[in-house]
A and B are shown apart, each in its own frame.
Chain A
Amino acid sequence: MLQIIIQGLLLSGLYALIAVGFTLIFSVGRVLNLAYGAYLMLGGYAFFYVSQTLGMPKLLGVVAAVAVGVIAGLMKHRFIVKPLKGDMVPVEIATLILAVVLQSAVVLMFGDSSKILHSIIPGVVQVGTVSVPYSNVFAMIVSWTVLIALYLFIRKTHLGRAMQAVSMDQKGAAISGVNPDHVNMMVWGISGGLGALGGVFFASYTQLYPAMWVAPLIIAVAVVIVGGIGSIIGTLIVAHIIGFMEVMTTSLIAPELRGVFTMALIIIVLVVSPKGLFGREEIH
């Protein structure tokens, strides 16, 4: 029981971090970024390259991963989203293809086989009968810190309010002196950074392998669909529902069924409540 609670909390924090970058893009840019999982892959491999291939400090590896994610996000905005003027279907097709291309690039550079990441912080902490790796605790603390900071940023700062404004009414934002293009660009950068950071943690949880962008994409889609697109609080709550559901499935039923219930949940919520349980499309 204790094991389920601890693992559930650890996994859910990470899922919330992964999903929030995805939800930001949908709210502000109004496109489903199907290449979102590729940020996680890029982040994971950037961390691997800097900290394990080059042998630099792990923290530098994390910073490098986030930087790669931010740059990837900015480039995607500049070279795909902006020329297509945010037109939803072409952007989705282009981003999905991009993810596959990036996967091939990763295979070319790092090979097809999966890699194990060294722990960011080695060692385990004993909670009752459960041993929890420090790395996972670190991942959860960082995830929560980032989520709270993001929430406060969106609610309390001029730029954050501008992001909300663009997500609700582009013309209204423009005549308030906000350039929707700049805000969009910034959100693509933030989203890339969040995804890459999530990727470092996700790869530490599981493994680093070229196809690792698919599973987190499904998680992000699930959290966003069930939580209602655009709600940070909703994202947080649903990330916990999904996280705990997966942990319970894995430890009580069978590890093979892990993702099945998540996908079943997506379909059920889509049929019952298409706007999600907390739904509206604007960020708040």
Chain B
Amino acid sequence: MAILEIENLSAFYGKAQALDGVSFSVEEGEIVGVIGANGAGKSTLLDSIMGMTQTTGAIRLAGADLAGKTTAEIVKMGVGYAPERANLFPYMSVRDNLLVGAYTARDDIERNLEMVHDLFPRLKERSTQETGTQSGGERQMVSVGRALMTSPKLLMVDEPTIGLAPKVCLEIAEVLRRLNKDYGATIIITEQNVNFALTLAERLLVMETGRIRMSGTVEELRENPALTEAYFGH
């Protein structure tokens, strides 16, 4: 069953159009990678699903229309979001950051906290540290952890590897893979780092200037000369 269906989605920041007629769907239990250069519209796509831009077209989560819903309502309906800049609460502890994530999912706190600590044992060790004093990798972990605390049906992770050391990228990739395999999470991940997306995702969407240029399984796109040229530098 499709968890997320998007039809002819266009998004605007004031008068500037940032997305133009985007359509795709995400099936339950899959990892979809959205790749594209800076400014291609990846973050706008995720912001639009969260109701943070002006949009036309349809967005449905498990069949329910998201049009006109506030961001908070969309979170409650089941979309978890770890944005590119993390947007953590710098003077609050790791634990309190995670607990804010549980604002609409208070009955699931224990179970979700256990899952987050299982995936990121370091967050358990650092639970009293203020996130403003943490490293970039740890902040990324808190950000994904906070999104998981909302009990999402769909997890969206925006450029988790940006600015991180390769070793930390591998750690994050491993966690997202476990999240998918062990916990059955459905994940959309955006990346400029195509190799990172290729190792994780089963299906890719390639974005360019606010449109989906092509899409398909990783194998299909590997064969595609246009993509190979643009992203793998042959």
Tell me the A159-189 residues at the B interface (CB within 8 Å): 161-162, 164-165, 168-169, 171-179, 182
Given the known interface contacts A161-B92, A161-B96, the answer about A172 and B72 at a Cβ–Cβ threshold of 8 Å is no
- Report A131 CB to chain B, min CB distance, Å: 44
A8 to B50, CA, bound (A): 52
A179 to B146, CA, bound (A): 16
Residues on the B chain within 8 Å of A169, using CB: 87-90
- Report B105 CB to chain A, min CB distance, Å: 7
- Report B159 CB to chain A, min CB distance, Å: 15
Whether, in the assembled complex, B190 has its beta carbon less than 8 Å from a beta carbon of chain A, the answer is no
Do B104 and A168 have beta carbons less than 8 Å apart? no
A165 to B142, CA, bound (A): 14
- The one of A158, A175, A179, A280 that contacts B91, using a Cβ cutoff of 8 Å: A280
Whether, in the assembled complex, A246 has its beta carbon less than 8 Å from a beta carbon of chain B, the answer is no
A171 to B51, CA, bound (A): 11
Do A177 and B87 have beta carbons less than 8 Å apart? no
Do A168 and B91 have beta carbons less than 8 Å apart? yes
- Report B46 CB to chain A, min CB distance, Å: 10
Interface centre among A178, A182, A280 (most CB of B within 10 A): A178
Do B91 and A176 have beta carbons less than 8 Å apart? no
Whether, in the assembled complex, A284 has its beta carbon less than 8 Å from a beta carbon of chain B, the answer is yes
Interface centre among A168, A174, A175 (most CB of B within 10 A): A175
Interface residues as binary, B62-82 with A (CB distance below 8 Å gives 1, 0 otherwise): 000000001110011000010
Given the known interface contacts A164-B89, A168-B89, A169-B89, the answer about A177 and B103 at a Cβ–Cβ threshold of 8 Å is yes
A161 to B104, CA, bound (A): 13
Whether, in the assembled complex, B19 has its beta carbon less than 8 Å from a beta carbon of chain A, the answer is no
Interface centre among B50, B86, B87 (most CB of A within 10 A): B87
Do B103 and A176 have beta carbons less than 8 Å apart? yes
Whether, in the assembled complex, B137 has its beta carbon less than 8 Å from a beta carbon of chain A, the answer is no
Q: Which residue of A lies closest to B82 (CB)?
A: A175
Do B87 and A171 have beta carbons less than 8 Å apart? yes
- The one of B50, B91, B103 that contacts A162, using a Cβ cutoff of 8 Å: B103
Do A168 and B72 have beta carbons less than 8 Å apart? no
Q: How many residues of A contact B (CB 8 A)?
A: 20
- The one of B89, B106, B147 that contacts A165, using a Cβ cutoff of 8 Å: B89
Do B105 and A177 have beta carbons less than 8 Å apart? yes
A165 to B81, CA, bound (A): 16
Do A172 and B91 have beta carbons less than 8 Å apart? no
Residues on the A chain within 8 Å of B87, using CB: 169, 171-172, 175
Do A164 and B92 have beta carbons less than 8 Å apart? yes
Do B81 and A168 have beta carbons less than 8 Å apart? no
A62 to B99, CA, bound (A): 35
Q: Which residue of A lies closest to B132 (CB)?
A: A168
Whether, in the assembled complex, B83 has its beta carbon less than 8 Å from a beta carbon of chain A, the answer is yes
Do A179 and B70 have beta carbons less than 8 Å apart? yes
Residues on the A chain within 8 Å of B101, using CB: 176-177
Do B90 and A175 have beta carbons less than 8 Å apart? no
A179 to B147, CA, bound (A): 16
A178 to B103, CA, bound (A): 7
Interface residues as binary, B148-159 with A (CB distance below 8 Å gives 1, 0 otherwise): 011000000000
Q: Which residue of B lies closest to A172 (CB)?
A: B87
Whether, in the assembled complex, B173 has its beta carbon less than 8 Å from a beta carbon of chain A, the answer is no
Given the known interface contacts A161-B96, A161-B99, A171-B83, the answer about A177 and B91 at a Cβ–Cβ threshold of 8 Å is no
Residues on the B chain within 8 Å of A177, using CB: 72, 75-76, 101, 103-105, 150
- The one of B71, B86, B99 that contacts A174, using a Cβ cutoff of 8 Å: B71
Given the known interface contacts A171-B83, A176-B150, the answer about A158 and B90 at a Cβ–Cβ threshold of 8 Å is no
Residues on the B chain within 8 Å of A182, using CB: 72
Whether, in the assembled complex, B100 has its beta carbon less than 8 Å from a beta carbon of chain A, the answer is yes
Q: Which residue of A lies closest to B87 (CB)?
A: A172
Whether, in the assembled complex, B52 has its beta carbon less than 8 Å from a beta carbon of chain A, the answer is yes
Interface residues as binary, A261-284 with B (CB distance below 8 Å gives 1, 0 otherwise): 000000000000000000010101
Given the known interface contacts A168-B91, A172-B88, A175-B75, the answer about A161 and B100 at a Cβ–Cβ threshold of 8 Å is yes
Chain A residues within CB distance 8 Å of chain B: 158, 161-162, 164-165, 168-169, 171-179, 182, 280, 282, 284
- Shortest Cβ-Cβ A-B pairs, 6 listed: A172-B87, A177-B104, A177-B75, A179-B72, A174-B71, A168-B89
Chain B residues within CB distance 8 Å of chain A: 50, 52, 70-72, 75-76, 81, 83, 86-92, 96, 99-106, 146-147, 149-150
What 11 additional pairs, Cβ within 8 angstroms, besides A165-B89, A179-B70?
A162-B103, A164-B89, A168-B89, A168-B91, A169-B88, A171-B52, A171-B87, A174-B72, A175-B81, A182-B72, A284-B92
